[in-house]
C-alpha cells in the first residue's frame, strides 16, 4: 500500500499493538491482510495501516464492488469498448445539448411560418437562405432584402478585422513590456488582467456611464475647457467605442497567453544575441517573433472566434447603436428570432447556421495549425 | 420490493416537486411607477380573504413582458396571469374566462368596450380587463416656459406651434432638448393620426403608408435634424426596442415631452417640487387633435393549470371597489365603466400637479378620434408600430433616407403579413 502524504509515523510497539486490536475487514488495504509487525512497521512487504488507509476503506470497498462487473465488460468489449463506455456519459450530454440542437436548428432554418414548435412549421427548403442572400449588390446592405442581416455582417466583419489586429498588437506590446524586469511586475500583470474578470454587462455599463452625454468623459473634457460631445449618438465614434471597450475588456487575457509564450523562449538565445551585439529590433524580429509564432497563431484564431460572437458588452453599451451602426450578428439573430415584434425564427435560424459555418471554418483552421505543430514536434 | 418502493417514492417526489400546487397562481407584473407596491398590498389582502389560494407576484421589467413573455407563451408556458400591453397580438394565448367567472354580465357591462382589444377577431371570450386606460399626451416644463417668457401653447395648438415654442425655450434656457417623443410606434401613431394617417386597408390588412403618415414623419425627421426633437432617445437602440425619454424630462432638460397618462405617477414621484410641469393633451394636426388610447390589461393565460383559482383572482381584482382603489393609489385612469361613470375618483396624491394632469387627460379622452379608438383592437397594430420605429430610428441615425424608410416600412409590414398568412 503506497504511503499517503499524511501517514502518521508510527513509533514504538504500543501504537501498533493498539491498532492491531481494531477489527479490520480482510479487504482493508487493497485486499492484503496486513500483518502487524512488532518492529514498528519495518516489514516492507507488509503494509501498516495509516489514517489515509482508514479513510480510503469505504472507497476501496465500493471499488471492489464495481471492479467485478467492469472486468467482465472489459473481457467482453476489449480496451476500445471500455474507452467508449467511459466516454459515453459526456458524449450523451454533448449529444443532447450541443449536437441535437444543432441538427434541430438546421432543420428549423428550412422551415417557415410563425409557429414556434418545429412540428407546426411548414417545410420550405432553402427559401430562408435565398431570402438572406437576395441582394442586388452585396456591398450595399440597403440594396438587399434583409438589409439588417447584411448590415450586421458588414459591421461584424469590420469589427473582427479591426479589433483582432489591434488586440494582437496591444497584447503583444503589453506582454513584451511585462516580460521585462519591471518594478512591481506582478502588480502590473494583475492590473492588465483585471478587466477580463469583469462581467460583460458590467463592462458595458461602466463605459456607457463614461461615454454618455453626461458621462465622465464629457465631464473631464468640460473641465479642460473643451466642448462635450455626444459620443454615443455619433455613428463612427460609437463604432470606435465598441472596439475600444472590447479591447480594454479582453486584452489582458491574450497578453497573458503571449506572456507565457515569451517566457518559454530559452534565455540562452537572448544571451547569445547579446554577446554578438545584436540590435534589440533585430532580436525581436529574428528571435522573439519566430519562436512566438505558434503561440501567436493560436491567440489570433482564438481572438477571431471570440470576436465574431461579440454581443454582451455592445448590447449593454449601445443597444445596437445609433440606428444599426453597432448591430452585430449575434444581436441580429437574437432580435430576429426572439425580441422584435417582427420576429421570424426561421430566418434567425438560417442566419445562425451561416454564422456557425464561419466559426467552423475558423475552428478547422485552428485545428490544422495545432496538427501541424504536433507533426513538427514528431520530427 | 425495495426497488419498487424506491421507484414509487421517487415518482411521488417528482410529482410533488414539478407539478404546480393546486392553489398557486403566478402573476407576471411590470410597473411604470408605483403599481408594483400597490399590487403587492392588494395581493396580500386577497390571500387573507382567500386562504386556499397562494398568489405569487413576479415583478419584472417591461422588456421581459415585451420580449420574453411572447416566447414563453408560444412554447405553451408562461405565468397564470400577466399584465400585458400587446394584448391583441397575443390574444390566441388568453384563457376564456366566460364560463369561469361568477358573473359574465358584470364583465360585459363594465369591461365590454375594450374586450375586443384582447380577444381574437370574431371571438366572444372574456380574456381579462384593463388595469388602466391610458391616453398619450404631452407634458410641458412650465418653469422653463415661464423663465423663457414663452407662453405655453393652448389646447388647439398644432405640432408646429409646439415645435416652435419649445425651440424658443431651448434657445433661451440653454437646455439640451426642446421636444422628445418616446421611442415607440404606439406613441408616434397619435400625431400620425392627427395628420390624417390611416393604417387599416379596406381588406382589414395594413395599407401602405399614406400621405398623412408621410407628412408627419418627414416633419419629424426634419425636426430631429435641426435639433428641435431629441435624437438621443430614438437613436440609442436598434430594432423595435422601447426607450422612454422620461429621464430627460425629469432632469429638467426637456421643454416638451410627448408620452402618456401612465407617466403621471412616475413624474409626480420623481420630479417632486423641482419644477412646475403640466399635462397639455395632444397637439393638433390638420385632421384631428387626438391621442392614442392604450393601456395594459391583466389577462389570464390559457396554459394555466389552475383555471378556477385564476378566475377567482381575476374576479376579485375586477371588483368595482378594488378597481377604484387601485386607480386612486396608482394615479391611473380606470378602465371600468361603472367607476368612470360614477366619477369622483380621489387620486391619492399630495401633488397638485399630478391631480391637475390627470384631469387634463380625462378631458382629452373626449377628443380621441374614431381611428384611434379602433387601433388597439386591430391585430396588425404592433407590426406597424415595430416597423415604423425600426426604420425611423435608422433614418434619424442617418442610415436611411426618408423615402427609403417609407419603402422599407411598407416592405417589412407586408413581409410579416405574408409570413403570418401561412
d(CA A241, CA A237): 6
Give the one of A116, A122, A142 whose C-beta lies nearest to B404's C-beta: A142
Chain B touched by A122 (CB under 8 Å): yes
pLDDT score for B12: 52
d(CA B94, CA B127): 6
Per-residue burial over B258-272, b = 16 or more CB atoms within 10 Å of its CB, e = otherwise: bbbbbbbbbbbeebe
* ipTM surpasses 0.95: no
B122, B204 Cβ separation under 8 angstroms:
no
pLDDT score for B7: 53
Chain A touched by B235 (CB under 8 Å): yes
CATH class of B22-133+295-348: alpha beta
Determine the 3-state secondary structure of B262 from DSSP: coil
Fold equal for B22-133+295-348 and B135-293+362-421: yes
Read off the pLDDT of each residue in A246-256 and give the average, rounded to a whole number: 94
d(CA B145, CA B280): 13
Chain A touched by B112 (CB under 8 Å): no
pTM of the entire predicted model: 0.77
What residues of A are in contact with residue B398 (Cβ under 8 Å)? 235, 322-323
Query: B135-293+362-421 in CATH: which number?
Result: 3.40.190.10
pLDDT by residue (tens digit) across A62-115? 999 998 888 888 888 888 888 888 899 999 999 999 999 999 999 999 988 877
Please check the confidence at residue A10 and state whether its pLDDT lies above 60: no
The half-sphere exposure of A293 on its side-chain side, counting CA atoms within 13 A, is 9
Give me the percent of chain A exceeding a pLDDT of 90.
47
pLDDT by residue (tens digit) across A341-355? 777 889 999 999 999
Average pLDDT, chain A: 84
**Domain spans of chain B, in order of start:** 22-133+295-348, 135-293+362-421
d(CA A23, CA A20): 8
Say whether A323 and B400 touch across the interface (CB within 8 A).
yes
Show the domains of chain A with their CATH numbers: 12-78 (no CATH), 142-378 (1.10.3720.10)
Say whether A323 and B396 touch across the interface (CB within 8 A).
yes
B50, B316 Cβ separation under 8 angstroms:
yes
B123, B335 Cβ separation under 8 angstroms:
no
Say whether B240 and A122 touch across the interface (CB within 8 A).
no
pLDDT score for B187: 92
> What's the gap in Å between the CA of B412 and the closest CA on chain A?
8
| β-strand pairing of A111-112 with A122-123 | antiparallel
pLDDT by residue (tens digit) across B30-45? 987 788 999 999 999 9
Chain B touched by A279 (CB under 8 Å): no
Give the one of A142, A322, A340 whose C-beta lies nearest to B386's C-beta: A340
Please check the confidence at residue A11 and state whether its pLDDT lies above 80: no
Nearest CA in chain A to B235: A322
Of B247, B249, B248, B237, the closest CA to residue B279 belongs to B249
pLDDT band at A28 (very low <50, low <70, confident <90, very high): very low
pLDDT score for A197: 94
> What's the gap in Å between the CA of A321 and the closest CA on chain B?
6
B360, B347 Cβ separation under 8 angstroms:
no
d(CA A209, CA A213): 9
pLDDT score for B263: 87
pLDDT by residue (tens digit) across A293-317? 888 988 998 899 999 999 999 999 9
Say whether B422 and A319 touch across the interface (CB within 8 A).
no
Chain B touched by A204 (CB under 8 Å): no
> What's the gap in Å between the CA of B52 and the closest CA on chain A?
35
pLDDT score for A167: 96
Residue with cell string 391619492: B348
pLDDT band at A339 (very low <50, low <70, confident <90, very high): confident
Of A174, A193, A172, A187, the closest CA to residue A253 belongs to A193
d(CA A314, CA A331): 9
The winner for highest mean pLDDT among A139-143, A246-250, B21-25 is A246-250
Residue with cell string 426642446: B178
Interface A-B: count of C-beta contacts within 8 A: 99
d(CA B58, CA B79): 9
Say whether A116 and B404 touch across the interface (CB within 8 A).
no
pLDDT score for B8: 52
Residue with cell string 411572447: B70
10-residue mean pLDDT profile of chain B (422 residues): values are 53 47 83 87 93 93 89 90 90 92 91 87 90 91 92 90 92 90 91 91 89 92 90 82 86 92 86 90 90 91 92 93 90 84 77 86 82 86 90 89 92 86 58
Of B110, B32, B389, the closest CA to residue A339 belongs to B389
How many CB atoms are located within 10 Å of the residue B369 CB?
A: 20
Read off the pLDDT of each residue in A244-253 and give the average, rounded to a whole number: 95
Say whether A319 and B238 touch across the interface (CB within 8 A).
yes
B84 secondary structure, DSSP code: E
pLDDT band at A13 (very low <50, low <70, confident <90, very high): very low
d(CA A121, CA A192): 50
> What's the gap in Å between the CA of B356 and the closest CA on chain A?
32
B207 secondary structure, DSSP code: P
Amino acid at each position: 500500500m503506497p504511503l499517503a502524504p499524511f501517514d502518521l509515523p508510527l513509533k514504538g510497539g504500543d501504537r501498533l499493538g493498539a491498532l492491531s486490536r481494531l477489527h479490520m475487514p480482510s479487504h482493508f488495504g487493497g485486499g492484503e491482510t496486513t500483518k502487524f509487525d512488532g518492529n514498528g512497521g519495518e516489514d516492507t512487504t507488509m503494509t501498516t495501516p495509516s489514517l489515509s488507509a482508514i479513510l480510503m476503506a469505504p472507497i476501496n470497498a465500493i471499488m471492489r464492488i464495481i471492479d467485478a462487473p467492469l472486468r467482465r465488460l472489459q473481457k467482453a468489449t476489449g480496451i476500445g469498448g471500455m474507452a467508449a463506455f467511459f466516454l459515453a456519459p459526456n458524449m450523451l450530454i454533448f449529444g443532447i445539448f450541443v449536437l441535437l440542437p444543432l441538427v434541430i436548428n438546421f432543420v428549423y432554418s428550412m422551415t417557415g411560418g410563425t409557429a414556434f414548435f418545429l412540428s407546426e412549421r411548414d417545410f420550405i427548403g432553402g427559401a430562408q437562405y435565398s431570402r438572406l442572400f437576395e441582394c442586388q449588390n452585396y456591398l450595399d446592405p440597403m440594396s438587399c432584402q434583409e438589409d439588417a442581416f447584411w448590415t450586421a455582417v458588414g459591421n461584424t466583419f469590420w469589427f473582427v478585422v479591426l479589433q483582432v489586429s489591434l488586440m494582437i498588437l496591444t497584447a503583444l506590446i503589453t506582454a513584451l513590456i511585462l516580460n521585462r524586469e519591471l518594478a512591481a511586475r506582478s502588480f502590473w500583470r494583475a492590473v492588465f488582467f483585471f478587466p477580463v474578470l469583469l462581467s460583460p454587462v458590467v463592462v458595458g455599463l461602466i463605459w456607457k456611464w463614461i461615454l454618455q452625454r453626461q458621462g465622465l468623459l464629457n465631464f473631464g473634457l468640460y473641465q479642460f475647457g473643451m466642448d462635450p460631445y455626444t459620443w454615443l449618438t455619433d455613428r463612427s465614434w460609437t463604432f470606435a467605442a465598441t472596439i475600444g471597450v472590447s479591447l480594454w475588456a479582453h486584452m489582458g487575457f491574450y497578453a497573458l497567453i503571449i506572456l507565457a509564450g515569451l517566457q518559454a523562449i530559452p534565455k540562452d538565445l537572448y544571451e547569445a544575441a547579446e554577446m554578438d551585439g545584436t540590435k534589440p529590433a533585430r532580436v525581436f524580429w529574428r528571435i522573439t517573433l519566430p519562436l512566438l509564432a505558434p503561440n501567436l497563431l493560436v491567440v489570433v484564431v482564438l481572438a477571431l472566434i471570440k470576436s465574431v460572437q461579440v454581443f454582451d458588452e455592445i448590447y449593454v453599451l449601445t443597444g445596437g447603436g445609433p440606428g444599426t451602426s453597432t448591430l452585430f450578428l449575434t444581436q441580429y439573430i437574437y432580435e430576429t428570432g426572439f425580441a422584435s415584434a417582427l420576429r421570424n425564427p426561421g430566418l434567425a435560424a438560417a442566419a445562425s447556421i451561416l454564422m456557425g459555418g464561419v466559426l467552423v471554418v475558423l475552428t478547422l483552421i485552428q485545428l490544422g495549425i495545432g496538427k501541424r505543430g504536433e507533426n513538427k514536434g514528431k520530427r | 420490493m425495495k426497488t419498487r418502493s424506491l421507484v414509487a417514492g421517487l415518482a411521488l417526489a417528482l410529482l410533488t416537486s414539478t407539478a404546480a400546487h393546486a392553489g398557486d397562481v403566478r402573476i407576471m407584473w411590470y410597473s411604470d411607477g408605483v403599481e408594483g407596491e400597490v399590487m403587492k398590498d392588494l395581493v396580500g389582502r386577497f390571500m387573507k380573504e382567500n386562504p386556499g389560494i397562494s398568489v405569487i407576484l413576479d415583478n419584472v421589467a417591461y422588456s421581459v413582458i415585451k420580449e420574453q413573455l411572447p416566447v414563453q407563451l408560444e412554447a405553451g408556458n408562461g405565468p397564470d396571469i400577466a399584465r400585458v400591453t400587446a394584448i391583441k397580438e397575443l390574444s390566441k394565448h388568453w384563457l376564456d374566462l366566460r364560463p369561469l367567472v361568477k358573473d359574465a354580465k358584470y364583465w360585459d357591462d363594465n369591461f365590454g368596450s375594450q374586450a375586443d382589444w384582447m380577444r381574437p377577431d370574431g371571438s366572444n371570450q372574456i380574456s381579462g380587463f384593463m388595469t388602466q386606460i391610458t391616453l398619450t399626451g404631452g407634458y410641458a416644463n412650465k418653469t422653463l416656459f415661464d423663465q423663457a417668457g414663452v407662453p405655453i401653447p393652448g389646447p388647439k395648438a398644432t405640432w408646429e406651434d409646439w415645435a416652435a415654442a419649445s425651440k424658443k425655450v431651448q434657445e433661451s434656457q440653454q437646455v439640451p432638448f426642446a421636444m422628445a417623443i418616446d421611442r415607440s410606434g404606439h406613441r408616434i401613431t397619435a400625431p400620425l393620426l392627427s395628420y390624417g394617417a390611416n393604417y387599416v386597408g379596406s381588406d382589414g390588412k395594413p395599407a401602405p403608408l399614406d400621405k398623412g403618415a408621410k407628412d408627419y414623419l418627414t416633419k419629424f425627421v426634419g425636426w430631429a435634424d435641426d435639433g428641435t426633437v431629441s435624437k438621443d432617445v430614438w437613436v440609442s437602440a436598434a430594432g423595435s426596442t422601447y426607450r422612454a425619454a422620461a429621464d430627460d424630462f425629469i432632469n429638467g432638460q426637456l421643454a416638451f415631452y410627448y408620452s402618456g397618462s401612465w407617466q403621471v405617477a412616475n413624474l409626480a414621484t420623481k420630479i417632486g417640487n423641482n419644477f412646475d410641469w403640466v399635462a397639455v393633451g395632444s397637439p393638433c394636426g390638420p385632421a384631428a387633435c387626438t391621442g392614442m388610447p392604450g393601456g395594459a390589461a391583466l389577462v389570464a393565460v390559457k396554459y394555466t393549470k389552475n383555471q378556477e383559482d385564476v378566475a377567482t383572482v381575476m374576479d376579485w381584482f375586477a371588483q368595482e371597489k378594488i378597481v377604484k382603489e387601485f386607480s386612486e393609489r396608482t394615479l391611473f385612469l380606470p378602465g371600468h365603466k361603472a367607476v368612470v361613470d360614477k366619477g369622483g375618483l380621489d387620486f391619492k396624491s399630495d401633488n397638485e400637479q399630478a391631480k391637475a394632469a390627470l384631469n387634463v387627460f380625462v378631458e382629452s379622452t373626449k377628443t380621441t378620434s374614431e381611428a384611434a379608438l379602433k387601433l388597439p383592437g386591430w391585430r396588425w397594430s404592433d407590426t406597424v408600430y415595430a416597423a415604423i420605429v425600426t426604420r425611423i430610428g435608422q433614418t434619424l441615425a442617418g442610415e436611411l433616407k426618408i423615402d427609403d424608410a417609407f419603402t422599407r416600412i411598407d416592405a417589412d409590414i407586408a413581409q410579416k403579413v405574408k409570413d403570418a398568412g401561412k
